[in-house]
Chain A
Amino acid sequence: MESAQITSTIRDLIVEIGEDAGVDEAKITDDAHFIKDMGLDSMALLEVLATMEKKFGVQIPESEFPNITTITKCAETVRKYLALKA
């Protein structure tokens, strides 16, 4: 999968979760912090994690959970585990 496509898929996911949580779409940028800038809560972060794992077919270990903070960092994490899987 193309790098840009991974970022785009995660961006779409965050927009969907953000919409459910009432986040202003203008606040959703690739480097906006999920909690500090968008106001998402920890259950939303868990949904991000679980959906990324399902969509990309990877298992993200607990040590990477602190990186579930921005779209950019999520995309980097997914790319890392897709590469390990390949």
Chain B
Amino acid sequence: MPDTGTMGISEFLQSPEILTAAPGMQPDDLRALILTKAREWFAGHADDTAALARNYAAFGLPHDPAFIRDASDQVALHYFDKLLPLCGTPREYHEFLSRHTDCADAIAQLRECADRRQPALLAGFHFGAIELIAPVLAMHHLPITPVLRFRAAHFSGLAHQRARDMAISGLFGSIAFIEIGKPGTAAALEMSAVLRRNEFLITMIDEKTEYSRKTKLFNREVWGGAGIDRLLKFTPAPVRVFAPAMVRNTDRYRLELSELAADPPDGLVDAAYDRIRDTVRAHPEQWYFLHEEVPWYAAPVAPRKKAGA
């Protein structure tokens, strides 16, 4: 087991060595490498395995050793999905996605939005092959902008370059990222601008941000929404909102979209969390978020005043 010091699994599986090796690998080889490395990681980090089991148990979900081994592999496969665009050429990536993804129904729903010039917000969560959603939509030349928080600076540069290469190939539409988590940026304005242009915004909602609010998940109170209700409140366009899930089935992926009632946006976060609950209940092992700290709700000491109150 390598000496990983204070490194987390994210940094371990996105190390410069792996990022450098990925472009020369075939997808199956990269998948095997990531799975092997992740199993090494979990074998050497009993605390992480215990945290995963503890988090599943807290939501009343399966948490026996065999299930946790499966869930650990799904955590690894999330990193495989993330690094997959780096493998081979854009054409090879396009061929991989064409062969392995089923997304006709979801594409039809979004194509209808595009044809009617209706903006759409895809409220994603840390589940399944979320990393493949943007490339699959770009493959269908839908006008998408994913909101991302890059934890590995090296990967950020590679991802931007790869997105440019994919667009240049003509096989994918352009992917313009909005990077969050950097001080002094205007991410919310940029996000609203995407919707005002009648395009599609993909953002994660199951993290605790300053604008998250209390919601329920499997009868536990958590912080959620990441401010999408406020984003829509301050965006004049009538936005359609979907909860996307890219479900992984052995070596295939299926994109499922559920439309959520967004007008008024007040109940949107709760509706999105009901969708998360239903999806997780069907495929609990793919809820890879649980290897991280769950944003349990705790009442703020001095609650933030509501705008307009």
Contacts and interface: CB of A to CB of B under 8 A. Distances in A.
Interface of A: 17, 19-20, 35-36, 41-43, 45-47, 49-51, 53, 59, 62, 65, 68
Given A17-B307, A36-B184, A42-B190, 9 more contacts: A19-B305, A20-B305, A42-B187, A42-B188, A42-B189, A49-B192, A50-B235, A51-B234, A62-B193
B180 to A, nearest CB: 9
Contacts of A50: 233-236
Nearest to A62: B193
26 contacts: A19-B305, A20-B304, A35-B184, A41-B188, A42-B186, A42-B187, A42-B189, A43-B188, A43-B210, A43-B211, A43-B231, A45-B188, A46-B189, A46-B230, A46-B231, A46-B234, A46-B235, A47-B230, A47-B234, A49-B234, A50-B233, A50-B235, A62-B193, A65-B193, A68-B186, A68-B189
Q: Which 9 A-B pairs have the closest CB atoms?
A: A50-B234, A42-B188, A43-B188, A46-B188, A42-B186, A62-B193, A46-B234, A20-B305, A42-B187
A19 B307 CA distance: 10
A36 B233 CA distance: 25
Interface in B233-249: 233-236
B189 A65 contact: yes
Find the residue from A19, A45, A53 having the highest chain B CB count within 10 A.
A45
A41 B210 contact: yes
B307 to A, nearest CB: 6
B185 interface: yes
Contacts of A20: 304-305, 307
A74 B108 CA distance: 41
B23 interface: no
B197 A62 contact: yes
User: Which of B197, B210, B231, B234 has the most chain A CB atoms closer than 10 A to its own CB?
Assistant: B234
Nearest to A63: B193
Nearest to B193: A62
B232 to A, nearest CB: 10
A8 B304 CA distance: 25
A49 B230 CA distance: 13
Given A20-B304, A62-B197, A43 B230 contact: yes
B196 interface: yes
A38 to B, nearest CB: 12
B284 interface: no
A59 B192 CA distance: 13
Contacts of A42: 185-190
A3 B34 CA distance: 62
A49 B189 CA distance: 9
B227 to A, nearest CB: 6
B199 to A, nearest CB: 11
